[in-house]
Amino acid sequence: GEEFSAFVLCDGENFQIIGYAQDHKRVYDGDQGPNTGGMGCVSNPLIVNKSIKYQVLSIMQKTMDGLRKEGRSYSGILYLGGMVVRGEAYVIEFNARWGDPEAEVILPGIQTDYLDIVVAVRSQSLKSIKVICDKKVRISIAGCSKGYPGDYSEVKGKEVFGLIKAMQLPAITIFGAGIKRKEKRLFVNGGRVFHLVAEGKDILEARKKAYAAMEQINIEGDNLHYRRDIGWRDMERLKK
């Protein structure tokens, strides 16, 4: 099947699905190599069509009802890890947290004041607000140390170049991860060093911007690794 994830706000009683994403877990292009924490993702992916959205809604309703019956009503963000097999949505797992790099493509699209959302979740009044999200497509690419998710110790401490310049490009946001700042310079301090997020009216625009911005960045000694095919499934779907 094909993986997707749904992000759901819950207040113990009611819920609202605020977005969908598709992560790319393998380290190399073509979904090859070992699993990672996530090499990049797309929001909202085309695999999540009307029928899948409807199925997720029904799964979530059953989940909330089940939790309540068991006396474990849940409030906060729920991450539904799902899989689509021949048009049917299945649950792989639930995480009681945001995803990473999924949060980076979903949170920027939320137009409603985040404090109002948190207050509604905490006070069990999610029904009284409608969380508005924009319609933009976002794509994130994880900038990694060469060697990740294996041994990247030789890359640790090396300087990261071009990040500040890339951040200033239109429609680009960069989130630091395994990175350390010393005065105005940036250094590697982890496997996934940063997540670059680009937004656009569709996947084509977002992807073009994301990869143009990635071109500006490197790690000393040519030690930057990132996938060059994030969003490939949606690109293939557009060709059909």
Among residues 79, 128, 106, 100, the alpha carbon closest in space to that of 24 is found at: 100
Q: Which is nearer to ligand GLY, 38 or 109 (CB)?
A: 38
Q: How far is the CB of 107 from ligand GLY (least distance, A)?
A: 13
Rounded Cα gap, residues 18 and 1, in angstroms: 23
69-87 CB burial, b ≥16 within 10 A, e <16? eeeeebbebbbbbbebeee
The correct pick among 6, 22, 23, 40 for binding ligand GLY (CB under 6 A) is 23
Among residues 177, 175, 155, 169, the alpha carbon closest in space to that of 223 is found at: 155
Tell me the CA distances in angstroms from 59 to 54, 82, 92, one per residue in order: 9, 10, 12
Q: Which amino acid is at 193?
A: V
Residue 19 sits in the site that holds ligand GLY (CB under 6 A): no
CB of 40 closer than 8 Å to CB of 121: no
Residue 100 sits in the site that holds ligand GLY (CB under 6 A): yes
Tell me the CA distances in angstroms from 200 to 14, 79, 94, 140, one per residue in order: 31, 24, 29, 12
- Which one of 11-19, 94-102, 148-156, 222-230 is the stretch in contact with ligand GLY (CB under 6 A)? 94-102
Q: How far is the CB of 63 from ligand GLY (least distance, A)?
A: 18
* Site mask for ligand GLY (CB under 6 A), range 48-87, x = bound: ----------------------------------------
Longest CA–CA separation in the chain, Å? 57
Q: How far is the CB of 41 from ligand GLY (least distance, A)?
A: 7
Rounded Cα gap, residues 106 and 78, in angstroms: 13
Q: Which is nearer to ligand GLY, 31 or 100 (CB)?
A: 100
Q: Which is nearer to ligand GLY, 95 or 189 (CB)?
A: 95
CB of 31 closer than 8 Å to CB of 40: no
- Which one of 59-67, 98-106, 148-156, 182-190 is the stretch in contact with ligand GLY (CB under 6 A)? 98-106
Residue 99 sits in the site that holds ligand GLY (CB under 6 A): yes
The correct pick among 4, 9, 11, 38 for binding ligand GLY (CB under 6 A) is 38
State which of positions 128-187 bind ligand GLY (CB under 6 A): none
Q: Which is nearer to ligand GLY, 7 or 152 (CB)?
A: 7
Q: Which residues fall within 8 angstroms of residue 204, CB to CB, at 6 or more apart? A: 235, 238
Q: How far is the CB of 81 from ligand GLY (least distance, A)?
A: 7
Q: How far is the CB of 185 from ligand GLY (least distance, A)?
A: 29
Binding site for ligand GLY (CB under 6 A): 23, 37-38, 95, 99-100, 102
